[in-house]
Copies of this chain bind each other. A is one copy, B any other.
Amino acid sequence: MATVTAVLEVKDFKAEVPPDWCPGCGDFGVLNGLFHACAELGRRPHEVLVVSGIGCSSNLPGFFRSYGVHSLHGRALPFATGAKLANHGMTVIVTGGDGDGYGIGLNHFIQAMRRNIDITYIVMDNETYGLTTGQVSPTSETGMITKTTPHGNLEGMLNPMALALASGCGYVARGFSGQPKHLQKLYTDAIRHPGFALIDVFSPCVTFNKHNSYEWFRKRVYRLEDSRHDPNDFHAAMDAALEWGEKIPIGLFYQNRSPRPSLHSQDPGLQAGVLVDQPLGVSKEQRRKLVEEFI
């Protein structure tokens, strides 16, 4: 990570195309925090790869000036995993929505944590499917009325924080797009964390989720940093993960003090260095040896 650092500003990360999110959409705050975090970290735009799936939130790479991929709905993490393994010199950030990451993409999310690939995963969690205009999402509250649950959502709310903890994720945090400075801090720490890092961000969909509004969140969220929470305490983190109601914690839930080595640092095939920097093909000598195995 961050082998070279340059002096960079927010404008270096602003794409020419302005975001086309609805005015007031929470995703603006998320993007803004990311501009600041990347400027702070000093990675140059061409050394950063932002990968997303499909959704309002997943449009983010188009508004961020770095290499970007707008992949398939739910498949940003596998795409980014392949990308990171191929060029682990890059800073790889994955951005997307709750539907993208916790719905269709949930399997990849859990396995990516298990595999500890060095990716920062930012989920713009608006508790709905924004781009498809407001259906129930895995993080919609039980009982919530949406276009597809007119009698109320019957399913239990998916708990990304608890799942992350249960899956061995070494950096587990939650932010709120109404608090971009706080977000920025979570981002920079997450990107610096050598392994998989999750930041679930409450990012209100002002158009289709009238329930989980800015107001709703503002009334409830409190910062773990302001409480006596110890982010190295797994059990405390699990307790925080289960807290949902009048008070909802944001901030750093958990960070592993001695994190497992990240996948690229361990993969036997990557021991010579960055994959894309290696010569293609096989030496004459190796070739002979390999053919020999069949004789």
Residues of chain A having any CB pair with chain B under 8 Å? 104, 106-107, 110-111, 113-116, 138, 151, 154-159, 162-163, 165-168, 235, 238, 241, 260, 263, 266-268
Contact = CB atoms under 8 A, between A and B. Distances in A.
A267 B155 CA distance: 10
A270 to B, nearest CB: 11
Contacts of A111: 106, 138, 155, 158
25 contacts: A106-B106, A106-B107, A106-B111, A110-B163, A111-B155, A111-B158, A113-B156, A114-B138, A114-B155, A114-B156, A114-B157, A114-B158, A115-B156, A116-B155, A151-B268, A154-B266, A154-B267, A155-B263, A156-B260, A159-B167, A162-B165, A162-B167, A163-B163, A163-B167, A165-B166
Interface of chain A: mostly helix, strand, loop or mixed: helix
Given A106-B106, A110-B110, A115 B154 contact: yes
Q: Which of A104, A111, A163, A266 has the most CB of B within 10 A?
A: A111
A284 B238 CA distance: 55
A238 B165 CA distance: 11
Q: Which 5 A-B pairs have the closest CB atoms?
A: A162-B166, A107-B107, A156-B168, A106-B107, A166-B166
